[in-house]
Amino acid sequence: MTVTAAQGPPDTEVRRSTRSGAVGLAGAAVNGAFGFVLTTVIVRAFGADGSGALFSVIGLVTIAGAICCFGADTGLMWAIPRRRLGPDGDAARLLPLAVLPTLALAGSVGAVCYAAAAPVARTLLDDADGTALIRLAAVCVPLIVASTVLLAAVRATRSVSAYVGVQFLLVPIARPILMIAAVSAGGGVLLGFAGWLLPLAAAVLFALALVVRPLGLFAGASLRPDRADWRAFWGFALPRAGSVAVDASSMWVGVLLTGALATQAEAGVFAAVGRYALAGLLIMQGLRVAIAPQLSRLLGAGQRGEAARVYRRTTLWIVLLSWPAYLVLAVFAPAFLRLFGAEFDSGAAGMTVLAVAMLVNVGVGLVQTVLLMSGNSRGHLLATVAGLALNVAACFVLIPRHGALGAAVAWSLGIVCENVLAAVLARWALGEPLFGRTLVLSAGATLAASGVAAGIGVLVAGRGLPGLAVCLGVLAAGLLALLADRRVRAALRNVRTQLRPAQTMPAQTQEVPS
CA separation for the pair 426, 370 (Å, rounded): 6
Quick one: pLDDT at residue 491?
61
pTM for this predicted structure: 0.71
Which has the higher per-residue pLDDT, 56 or 48?
56
Residue 46 burial (CB count, 10 A): 21
Q: What is the mean pLDDT of the chain?
A: 84
Q: Are 289 and 430 contacting, i.e. CB atoms less than 8 angstroms apart?
A: no
CA separation for the pair 383, 391 (Å, rounded): 12
**Average pLDDT for residues 58-71, to the nearest whole number?**
85
CA separation for the pair 231, 237 (Å, rounded): 10
Which of 172-181, 418-427, 428-437, 481-490 is the least confident region? Answer: 481-490
Instruction: Give the rounded percent of residues in the chain with a pLDDT score beyond 90.
Output: 34
Q: How far is CA 211 from CA 152, 206, 408, 421, 499, in A?
A: 10, 9, 40, 35, 26
Asked if residue 511 has pLDDT above 70, the reply is no
CA separation for the pair 259, 123 (Å, rounded): 9
Choose the most confident range, by mean pLDDT, from 11-25, 206-220, 278-292, 347-361: 347-361
Asked if residue 512 has pLDDT above 80, the reply is no
CA separation for the pair 39, 276 (Å, rounded): 9
Which of 345-354, 358-367, 484-493 is the least confident region? Answer: 484-493
**Helices and strands, counts by H and E, the chain:** 21, 0
Residues 6 or more apart in contact with residue 25 via CB below 8 angstroms:
283, 286, 287, 317, 321
Angle (deg, nearest 10), helices 12-69 and 304-331 = 70
Q: What are phi and psi of 493, to 5 degrees?
A: -65, -35
Q: Can you say how many angstroms the Cα of residue 205 is from the centroid of all Cα atoms in its chain?
A: 22
Which has the higher per-residue pLDDT, 20 or 355?
355
> What b-and-e string marks burial along 334-350, b requiring 16 or more CB atoms within 10 Å of the CB?
bbbbbebeebbebbbbb
Q: Which long-range contacts (CB under 8 A, 24 or more apart) does 150-153 make?
A: 150/99, 150/203, 150/204, 150/207, 150/208, 150/211, 151/73, 151/203, 151/207, 152/72, 152/73, 152/74, 152/76, 152/77, 153/76, 153/80, 153/95, 153/98, 153/207, 153/211, 153/215
Q: Are 323 and 362 contacting, i.e. CB atoms less than 8 angstroms apart?
A: yes
Choose the most confident range, by mean pLDDT, from 47-56, 189-198, 253-262, 335-344: 189-198
Q: Is 509 helix (H, G, I), strand (E, B) or coil?
A: coil
Read off the pLDDT of residues 120-136 as tens digits, 9 standing for 90 and up: 888 777 666 778 888 99
Q: Which H, E and C letters describe 171-225, residue by residue?
A: HHHHHHHHHHHHHHCCCCHHHHHHHHHHHHHHHHHHHHHHHHHHHCCCCCCCCCC
User: Which of 227, 246, 269 lies closest to 67, judged by CA?
Assistant: 246
Q: Are 219 and 231 contacting, i.e. CB atoms less than 8 angstroms apart?
A: no
Read off the pLDDT of residues 355-397 as tens digits, 9 standing for 90 and up: 999 999 999 988 988 988 888 888 888 998 899 999 999 999 9
Write the DSSP symbol of residue 3.
P
